[in-house]
Structure 1
Amino acid sequence: MTTTARPGSSAVTSPHSIELPVVPVGALLDGAARRFGDRPALVHHDDVLTYRGLWAEACGIAHALVARGIRPGDVVALHLPNRLAWPIAYHGILLAGATVALASPALPRELLDAQLADAGAVAVVSLDPSLENVITTDGRRLDLPVEEHDTPPWTDLDPAVALAHLAYTGGTTGRSKGVELTHANVVANVLQYVATSAGAVPAPDVQGGVTVEQTSPPEEHPVRLGEAVSLAVAPWFHAMGTNGLTIGLVTGTTAVVQDRFDPAAYLADVERHRATTLSGAPAMYHALLAHPDAATRDLSSVRTVTSGASPMAVAQAERIAALMPGAVVVEGYGLTEATMGLCISPSERSATRRIGTVGLPVANTELVLLPVETGRPGDEPVALGERGEIWARGPQVMQRYHDRPDETAAGLVDGWLRTGDIGILGEDGYLSVVDRAKDMLLYKGYNVFPRELEELLAARPEVAAAAVVGLPDDAVGELPTAAVVLAPGTTGTAGLEALAAAVNAAVRPYERLRRIYTVDALPVSAAGKVLKGDLRETLLAAPDGPAWTDGAS
């Protein structure tokens, strides 16, 4: 496997190229239903939904929505936790020709109302009966007059134009933006990830559905199509959850739905269901590694551990590999504006994986690293090994931000997506995501990147989790400040001076930590990202100040 890279510069093209069918998202479920039939697609407690059953129920919901007046191009919001009603409603909305507006069930009512208004939703599927134009559900059945159907009501959508998702960005640093994604965007990203994660290529069937064929041999991908078992804990409203659900359907995976993330219950279900695939964010893996059951449960069935949503510390990846030696640890990278993902580590057993990187661009994708803040497509990329802002181009890149032309113009330039992330590209084409451009802080005029300090903190045995932010200071601009969760068994703050000394000895003088706070937990979003804005506000309001401070600053 080789990458196409410009010698000496940070530009890389995926080593894979696949033929992408021009079909709506429903074609993926259609093909999976015919191929996997009565295999369980989703399991929630004692309720089993087969592939054929999911297709039939989704078609029924699609016809019921049309009978209610929903037409192609309408927006229907999906405001549910992970329950069996979610995939039924999701595919039903798409099969009706409508667009799914993905809404977090944890949104405060004021923010939810604003998001629904921004989306222009004509209806919302929700557990909350007080919402306007609501279609209620008990989590399994939707309150709609449903008749049996085995075909969708609309089959003539243009996948390159018709919107499948109106997906909202995380909003961790400001107001969420609606990201417009077509059926072609979603289908492309699903098949791009299947190509890497399962060693499979698209294979349209004669009846209009799309399935995939595994070209990789069993010694490279021992879990074959129709054999995998995963635990569905990533929230389905999030890009990683939505597309992860469809990737699982295309590969014939049985997803065991978790009501909520509980480390003990999760570890028990890995053992009980002989899960082959774990997928989540670093915050989830931190909780699993810290739980005492991790050392006693039989986790030998796990063959792949995938992490996304935010960068994983190298020390954490090493601990996962030690706990589940039969699994490959795969880190991916993406964002809502790229449907879900841009990069992933190779999953073949014989492949080289570099812990601390997010691997290579997925099929049909290009990346270029340009000077931070000032670079634009067409400019000379930064040199290999140098930090640069990541720009991406591929069939999964969004169409635009919903009703935000100025922000669209800033984020999409000549077909290239400006990610706002800072990365380093190696000679092998592997990408390391080192920070968010917006997380970079300025100390005495120097750029300080928190990720490097966070890696050093995470590698220390007395630290369970850590995040670094800049706190305002009139004299120096921003003080590099750490918030740390102490490891179990670590008491008091007497060792913080030694911790600071060890970290600061490994970085440049201007990058040194100036303050350390101890916290019980880091604030994270539903997708597992550390909410650095919230953390900064909490530290600024801390009544007792830092547990350790560098008097010199």
Structure 2
Amino acid sequence: MYLTQGLHRAVQQFPQRAVTVEDGRRRDYRTQMDRCARLAGALAGAGLVPGDRVAILALNGAVHWDYFPGLWWGGLVANPVNTRWSLKEMAYSLSDSGARVLLVDDAFLERIPELRRLCPGLQQVIHVGAAPTPAELTAYEPWLAAAEAVPDRRVGGDQLAVILYTGGTTGFPKGVMLSHSNLWSSAVGRLAETEVPSPFVTLMAVPLFHTAGLAKLVTQLIVGGTAVVEAGFRVDTVLADMAAERVTDVILVPSMIQMLIDHPTFADHDLSALEALTYGASPISQALLERAMAALPGARFMQSYGMTEASPVITVNPWWNHRGEALRNGRVRSAGRAGWGLEVRVVDPQGKELPPGTVGEVIARGDNVMLGYWNQPEQTAEVLRDGWLHTGDGGYMDEEGYLYIVDRLKDMIVSGGENVFCAEVENRLARHPAVASCAVIGVPHDQWGESVHAVVVLRPDSEVSEAALCDFCREELAGYKCPRSVEYRDSLPLSGAGKVLKNVLREPHWRGRDRRVS
């Protein structure tokens, strides 16, 4: 189980097949394998050894197909930086992971001087863009061309492959450690669940710093498919590329699906080649799902439920539950059943499995479950107990093992597919001089599923506007974490133990809905 295996297989069987298509530029598998071998050689020449971390701060691009398999070729560990983060969050992930080398594209060049100041452990920054390379950086293409192509180390199994940083309840992101085996087993399990389109031409529109995007890249390499790479989700460009390249496979979050089918030129594009559409990261409304299936009648819709810590899939709701009787009996609203190679249970606070129909915490185990959190043994022990991953999601199972998610036990919001830990936002808000106390909750949002809502108690004789509070948060937090709405109160509802009763704050916003997540 080494993640470069797909490259070797593809070069042996179809070396001229395109591995990536980016802005009309195609790169074949034979060329790609040589670039990966050279990247591993260049990094070894820079003094890196197996196990060292290399980061990338870049929008989706063909360079990621150098970066991920190229690092694995040399036994190195990837640390893709969330491009939506604030400078402080980026610097934390780089310093915490101990990244020695950073690849950066044109979009983030202006951040490099401050990142180098905040991250003294960065020994080299490589510029991978088309703009002129600043004198203090290394230009990627000449550096790569001059490197020696080295043999594949074929590192795999339980060796660390990637550290993906996700939001933290303590105010700092946590580094999720995923091994070669974690990513491989999750990908192969998904492939076993459904029919693989042939040809496999996937649209890569979800960001590659997220587990969903990375999982799709791993899957594509395993099957030897082609990725049509999108730097961002511009609907007009996505529609044009899907039609021109005859895309057969795509993974989208619900907000992307809505933007796609609502675009005024949607009907002008021939998307008849699309065979498989996987949605996830946040639940989808029944109305949007039915509209999407009507708009794309030739596509098999499938839902995946999971989390970064599971590489990412835990359950799968296959395409045959998106039509016929399953639409009428509500099974389409389930998160599906345990994926191949996994066990999933619903348990009480003591870890005892609950009978069907009883709400408890969803737990899972399998080869896809993470190694743990980087340098966070206590948080690892809290989440990984007795071999089981405790998701923090509340749900129940029916008699046939279908899982229904009804609430979030951990204090987290999912907005547009991004995880937002309430404590992280609350910690920032509480530092504003006008704020006496605050609580952050998720409220329903038609496009993003949930949006961040702050309930604020001001200090006596203090005033601060909603816009000012949001700007204050944006100084240190990614934009998607900042409150979209603010509610001012004289006090917060508290339990007898002095804990904020968030269920009381959430109730008016979610009244009349059958579950407390959107």
One-letter amino acid matched to 1:383? P
Contact 2:164 2:175 (C-alpha < 8 Å) held by counterparts = yes
Partner of 1:290: 262
Distance 1:149 1:312, change over 3 A: farther
Higher helix share: 2
One-letter amino acid matched to 1:390? V
Q: Secondary structure of the equivalent of 1:256?
A: strand
Q: Secondary structure of the equivalent of 1:144?
A: helix
How much does 1:362 deviate? 1.6
How do 1:146-161 residues align onto structure 2 when only pairs under 5 Å count? 146=145, 152-155=151-154, 157=155, 159-161=156-158
Among 63, 75, 82, the alignment partner of 2:41 is 63
Q: What's the TM-score once normalised by structure 2's chain length?
A: 0.74
Contact 1:95 1:154 (C-alpha < 8 Å) held by counterparts = yes
Mapped partners of 1:99, 1:71: distance in 2: 10
Mapped partners of 2:289, 2:375: distance in 1: 40
Mapped partners of 1:303, 1:391: distance in 2: 31
Distance 1:120 1:473, change over 3 A: closer
Among 171, 181, 185, the alignment partner of 2:182 is 185
Among 26, 36, 40, the alignment partner of 2:4 is 26
Contact 2:41 2:150 (C-alpha < 8 Å) held by counterparts = no
Alpha-carbon displacement from aligned partner over 1:403-448 (angstroms, at most 9, x marks no partner) = 111111100001100111122222222222233213589xxxxxxx
Q: Secondary structure of the equivalent of 2:247?
A: coil
Mapped partners of 2:274, 2:488: distance in 1: 43
One-letter amino acid matched to 2:151? P
How much does 1:239 deviate? 0.3
Contact 1:85 1:142 (C-alpha < 8 Å) held by counterparts = no
Residues 1:275 and 2:222 are matched in the alignment: no
Aligned length: 420
Distance 1:81 1:431, change over 3 A: same
One-letter amino acid matched to 1:370? V
Distance 1:104 1:357, change over 3 A: same
How do 1:458-477 residues align onto structure 2 when only pairs under 5 Å count? 467=450
Contact 1:61 1:93 (C-alpha < 8 Å) held by counterparts = yes
Distance 1:386 1:294, change over 3 A: farther
Partner of 2:335: 358
Distance 1:145 1:329, change over 3 A: closer
Partner of 1:76: 54
Alpha-carbon displacement from aligned partner over 1:344-367 (angstroms, at most 9, x marks no partner) = 223479998632222222211000
Mapped partners of 2:449, 2:319: distance in 1: 28
Mapped partners of 2:58, 2:246: distance in 1: 27
Partner of 1:498: none
Q: Secondary structure of the equivalent of 1:194?
A: helix
Residues 1:538 and 2:479 are matched in the alignment: no
How do 1:176-325 residues align onto structure 2 when only pairs under 5 Å count? 176-198=173-195, 223-224=197-198, 227-325=199-297
Partner of 1:39: 17
Among 301, 316, 328, the alignment partner of 1:344 is 316
Mapped partners of 2:170, 2:212: distance in 1: 19
Distance 1:286 1:348, change over 3 A: closer
How much does 1:291 deviate? 1.5
Contact 2:453 2:485 (C-alpha < 8 Å) held by counterparts = no
Q: What's the TM-score once normalised by structure 1's chain length?
A: 0.69
What percent of counterpart residues are identical? 29
Alpha-carbon displacement from aligned partner over 1:136-162 (angstroms, at most 9, x marks no partner) = 21269545243576663524x4x3342
Mapped partners of 2:292, 2:32: distance in 1: 34
Contact 1:191 1:247 (C-alpha < 8 Å) held by counterparts = yes
Greater shift, 381-390 or 279-288, is seen at: 381-390
Partner of 1:396: 368
Partner of 1:367: 344
Mapped partners of 2:378, 2:350: distance in 1: 18
Distance 1:415 1:274, change over 3 A: same
Unaligned segments of structure 2, at least 5 residues: 117-121, 131-138, 414-440, 458-465, 467-473, 490-507, 510-518
One-letter amino acid matched to 2:193? T
Unaligned segments of structure 1, at least 5 residues: 1-22, 199-220, 442-449, 475-516, 518-524, 543-548
Mapped partners of 2:205, 2:62: distance in 1: 13
How do 1:451-530 residues align onto structure 2 when only pairs under 5 Å count? 454=444, 467=450
Mapped partners of 2:30, 2:88: distance in 1: 39
How much does 1:278 deviate? 2.2
Q: Secondary structure of the equivalent of 1:355?
A: helix
Q: Secondary structure of the equivalent of 2:393?
A: strand
Mapped partners of 2:170, 2:213: distance in 1: 21
